Amino acid sequence: MENKETFSYTYSAKEQEEIKKIREKYVPREADKMEQLRRLDESVTRKGTVIALVTGIVGALVLGIGMCCCLVWTELFAVGIVVGIMGIAAVSAAYPLYNLVIKKEREKIAPEIIRLTDELMK
């Protein structure tokens, strides 16, 4: 009498990883405190960066318009000088504006950051 009972098992690590990734999308999870701390810190610099970039880009474009007035349309030379100076002022104001926004945002978010860091350091 021969016993032909066999057990066959196929394991695929790739499939298991895919299943886990799909499952993670649907399982409610608590916000990790370290992840929350990183997001708060990033939000401070992101707002300052966006404002400074917009100011710098607009200033550069205004400076370019002023240069066009001076070089291409010579009858608008005086207007071009004024517009160019306004563009230079806007470009020059981008970095101090960045620092100002960062400072205000840090003051606004500081209590939450301190609370999270105290919890994480315990």
pLDDT tens-digit series, residues 50-81: 999 999 999 999 999 999 999 898 888 999 99
Rounded Cα–Cα distance for residues 57 and 23 (Å): 43
Predicted pLDDT of residue 30: 58
Q: Is residue 2 part of a domain?
A: no
Domain that holds residue 38: 33-121
Q: Is residue 62 part of a domain?
A: yes
Cβ(40)–Cβ(112) below 8 Å:
yes
Q: Is residue 27 part of a domain?
A: no
Nearest to 37 by CA among 115, 107, 101: 115
